[in-house]
Amino acid sequence: MFRRWTRYALTLMLAGSLILTLVSVVRIGLDPALRPLRDAAASEITAAVDRELARLSPGAIPARITARLAEDPRDWVVLEALRGLAEELGQPLPAEVEAAYQAAFEADGGFFAAAQNCAACAADLGACSLSTVFICGVPVELSLIGDVRDITKGAVDYLAGNEVDRVAVALSIVGIGATVAVVVSGGTSVSAKLGASALKIARGMGRVSPRLNALMARAATDGIDWLALRRARGFDDIAAALRAEAFAPLVSVAADLERMRGATNVTTALHLLPLVDDANDARRLAKATEALGPRVVARAEVLGKARLLRATVRVTGTGYALVSGMVGLMLSLAMLVAGALQSRLFAALRRSALSREDLT
């Protein structure tokens, strides 16, 4: 009798969990505003990040600084941010780490070292550090001059049958504003143009993740009618040669990169860019940057991408209902299966015991 009532209860639990799960899924499908996850508010992001920082071991920051000091060239954007975080948390650096930091700072901060780095940066973006990229003649990349140059060079290479840097052309098209009518609108247009120019610089410096580079390549391949672009005589012709849907993810990333710059500065935005793999990453990282400001650099360094981005989302009531329904569904199903297997096992044991009695 007890097992029968238990089986009834589990069946009811299974049915209830299934109904709760289906209702949650249907509600999400019918109303896009009902999502299992929502964007966290700035205060929630800050609180979640602070909780993660409280779990850090005392040696985590000195270890990161020591590792960064061993790099060549050294990234002083992140080194200064890490040192500032140690001071903020009231964790003085060990004497040997502090001495190594000061020695490296003096070695990298001299006039002749800066002049040498600047000359290399002006000749090749790949030789630029985040400390020198915007003071060594590179700002032309942020202007319309650089965009027009890259589009013209792409057209000349195409006509000559040479290999075309299609990604550079695509970024220049967004940067020059030719796509405003078809892929961006309102305030996004200015953000996308500035962000696309910064993406060009980051790509030249090798600060673009493989997946983001692939996204840009898809936009350049699928979003541009190259035959029509070859015949273009003005911005209207260029816009007509574009496919808006293929450019949308790239424009979104560019606009969010400009959000990062607006909340901090260009150098910080470029430093964070390697963490971006797609438009969703860019949106969530921009959200974190707006909440944390310049402090995001050190926190991204010690917490890592996954924990930082996880702080930017929260589970909604619909999400909790969906998760509860699925957990209840799996548990009740597992218990029903276990009960059925147990019943079969006991039945087999009884038959075995009866057959032995008959033999005796």
pLDDT in tens, 297-313: 999 999 999 999 999 98
How many CB atoms lie under 10 A from the CB of residue 193?
Answer: 24
142, two tokens: 């942020």
Q: Are residues 144 and 227 in the same domain?
A: yes
List C-alpha distances in Å: 100 to 111, 159, 218: 20, 54, 44
Tens of pLDDT, residues 290-301: 999 999 999 999
Number of domains in the chain: 2
Can you tell me the distance from the alpha carbon of 281 to that of 253, in angstroms, rounded to the nearest whole number? 9
Q: Which residues span the domain enclosing 220?
A: 139-277
> For all residues of the chain together, what is the average pLDDT?
75
pLDDT cut 90: percent of the chain above it:
24
R_g over Cα of the chain: 29
Q: Are residues 31 and 161 in the same domain?
A: no
Q: What is the pLDDT, as a whole number, of residue 5?
A: 56
Q: What is the pLDDT, as a whole number, of residue 60?
A: 92
Mean pLDDT in residue range 204-228: 84
Q: Are residues 224 and 330 in the same domain?
A: no
Q: Are residues 145 and 273 in the same domain?
A: yes
Tens of pLDDT, residues 101-132: 999 988 886 544 554 555 556 555 555 666 55
- Per DSSP, the three-state class of 352 is helix
Q: Are residues 200 and 268 in the same domain?
A: yes
Mean pLDDT in residue range 317-330: 56
Mean pLDDT in residue range 269-279: 90
Question: Is the confidence at residue 44, as pLDDT, over 80?
Answer: yes
The predicted model scores a pTM of 0.71
Q: Are residues 322 and 270 in the same domain?
A: no
* Residue 65 falls inside a structural domain: no
Q: Are residues 161 and 244 in the same domain?
A: yes
Whether 248 contacts 215, CB under 8 Å? no
Q: Are residues 29 and 150 in the same domain?
A: no
Whether 38 contacts 313, CB under 8 Å? yes
* Residue 49 falls inside a structural domain: no
* Residue 297 falls inside a structural domain: no
